[in-house]
A and B are shown apart, each in its own frame.
Chain A
């Protein structure tokens, strides 16, 4: 796109180099509309129960997560220029993100988040092993 119109006097050459990244307004609008559509789709899951019955719940969750990830990457790659910028930025950011996701998922798993059956014993520790074999 046309980033190169009038830039700082002494640094024309630099600006050219630096700003070969970034999309055009048109591109951004396109991305935006995609995002709008995806969001609409996301919001629609709210009524899937009515439309497709209770059974659609897991699919809805799956769709939601997928759409979330797509939206995330669309914004990050286009609006935040990661697509065009030096890879180092991408690496730093996604490294942080991956650490965050990994660490917190592990912590939640360790807290039995997925198997919590909702009793007064929070995140029920795994049931005691059956009193079987003698220990020694």
Chain B
């Protein structure tokens, strides 16, 4: 190791750091780029990372959407020969997996990354470098997974990939290996990010921001992260067992050797059910931000909103076997899970009704963001109600694995999660990019989506009840499914058009912005939470000075007070209470290459495991090198920008740095706010998730 030797005995906690701490270790010089693609590749800025999550997952949305169109095109008419059964099976599997793990989850992560620190008044997440790591690991896993299309065919086991159909005997291709390893890789990324964001919410809140003053979005995201933290290891176990079966010839799910297919089902759904709330809670959070803003009322029943979110998170752990009502579990299990599932409708209902109550008496402004949010309330309810109807176990034995289920989960996933995420995009677009998304095209986008969506998935309720089962590559003209399938297909193309409109809108808004810059200002919607205090787009350092929070909806309360009749009165101009983004003298974590290096190693190891173990060697070497470089790299580049010469975060615990700073300088300016990642500590937190 290229270490500057020091007399060991002199090194104690109390001492000054050795000078070597500043040396860039390893092969690369410390990245410095602030512009150009390089600044994206090695960034540790939560905002850039959030944007990259967004872009990547939108790309995968197109991929999975095209797969969906292939499904629908195949099913448009009876007996279609467009896709072979084999291809069809791959397509719907890849569609499901991609939508779930590469679209909704990371898109929610995009919002979480960008907004959580802003909403709680922080400079960044708690571990910025690990944040970059989780992005790159997730992305490399996602790309890895999708390369299976070119390497022998995609996974064909369905997104829940029941054993033993997923064993080598019955699915000899590589698709399911890609599924197992790809999901393990993405799982590592998500775990890192979930731990990171959990800690961020718990630890990085601005002064005065108690848990019960956090915006609902932050709360829902927090619950999501906690669910992720506990759900991901469960599927990791399942996937590990599966890859042992497939790659090392174990027999965990091979009944002839005593393996039990039920084990997979339980493990998958123990993860899988919390997973569906992982997908929808972020959207609930978004809606809970958007509706109050455009109703010009505070969210109705804040504690109940939070409480029901928590209740959903809790109850979500006790209902997984409702996916197994027809699997042949004992009657007692069926009853227990059936009853538990029923009552999960209660907290969800509280949410729905609270949104309605928030709108009641409000002054509703129907921007595109609001439209999407309101649509979510209606559409999700439909999905939820069909969910309740198959929570009744005997009923579910008729409905399970039919298009009725497909309708249910698209109503909650598209009508819930995705509509919410679209709403969020329109809502926070100006904050992120400094310009609005066009409203006119936005309305088109909205109405086309709403109509297309209902045309696509509404008829599927009927189809399902009429007995059309899911995952069928074809049906016959005399089965009576033809009409509604055609309607459904037409609907899906309308959705496709709406997506094109949305893409057009993104482009057009940007071009318009280039032509005539209209500054949306920090607070274009007259909104409520802290992220609207900073200029749009958010400056690199977020807050010039960390806000001290006194109330829920702090920013709103800085702008508005009440008169004696409980009516709103303006007490301050936005420009007076918003920040200017001028303070450049803020200490920021430095960029790093190592997250990328570590992330790249993972798919290499994956390919090695699938094709030839020797190929894993370069990956392993890269992984070790990456970890080494990571540990040896100080979290802050002393020679980089924004650096205060008078202290170095390495010089002591982060607390010390700030406390010291606070003595000398203004208490609030230049506060590093505990953002400290790296140094020796990070070696633990970074390596642990790999284990």
Contacts and interface: CB of A to CB of B under 8 A. Distances in A.
B230 A96 contact: yes
A122 B258 contact: yes
A13 B13 contact: no
B656 interface: yes
B205 to A, nearest CB: 13
A77 interface: no
Interface residues of A, number: 26
Contact of A88 (B202, B656, B657, B659): B202
Contacts of B230: 96, 99-100
B14 interface: yes
B17 to A, nearest CB: 10
A96 B14 CA distance: 36
Nearest to B260: A122
29 contacts: A6-B13, A8-B13, A8-B14, A8-B651, A8-B652, A8-B656, A9-B14, A10-B660, A11-B652, A11-B653, A11-B659, A11-B660, A13-B659, A14-B653, A14-B655, A14-B659, A18-B655, A96-B229, A99-B317, A109-B333, A110-B266, A110-B321, A110-B329, A110-B330, A111-B260, A123-B260, A125-B330, A126-B330, A126-B331
Contacts of B267: 107
A57 B262 CA distance: 30
A9 B330 CA distance: 65
Given A103-B317, A110-B333, A125 B328 contact: yes
A103 B260 CA distance: 18
A109 B329 CA distance: 10
Nearest to B331: A126
Interface in B209-242: 229-230, 234
Contacts of B321: 110
B677 to A, nearest CB: 19
A88 B226 CA distance: 14
Nearest to B337: A110
B9 interface: no
Contact of B332 (A99, A111, A126): A126
B624 interface: no
B263 interface: yes
Most buried by B among A11, A13, A96, A102: A11
Q: At the interface, is chain B mostly helix, strand, loop or mixed?
A: helix
Given A125-B328, A125-B330, A11 B263 contact: no
A43 B425 CA distance: 60
A24 interface: no
A7 interface: yes
Interface of B: 12-14, 202, 229-230, 234, 255, 258, 260, 262-263, 266-267, 270, 317-318, 321, 328-333, 647, 651-653, 655-657, 659-660
Given A11-B660, A14-B659, A123-B262, A103 B13 contact: no
B266 A111 contact: yes
Contacts of A45: none
Contacts of B202: 88
B655 A11 contact: yes
A4 B114 CA distance: 40
A60 B393 CA distance: 41
A18 B652 CA distance: 14
Most buried by B among A88, A106, A110: A110
Nearest to A108: B266
Contacts of B652: 8-11
A10 B17 CA distance: 13
A7 B266 contact: no
Contacts of B332: 126
A109 B267 CA distance: 13
A106 B317 CA distance: 11
Contacts of B330: 110, 112, 125-126
Contacts of A110: 266, 321, 329-330, 333
A100 to B, nearest CB: 8
Contacts of B229: 96
Contacts of A112: 330
Contacts of B258: 122
Contacts of A123: 260, 262
Interface string A112-129: 100000000011011000
Nearest to A111: B262
Contacts of A6: 12-14
Nearest to B329: A110
A11 B13 CA distance: 11
A106 B270 CA distance: 10
Nearest to B321: A110
B548 to A, nearest CB: 21
Contacts of B333: 109-110
Contacts of B655: 11, 14, 18
A90 B575 CA distance: 44
Nearest to A115: B330
Nearest to A127: B330
B656 A11 contact: yes
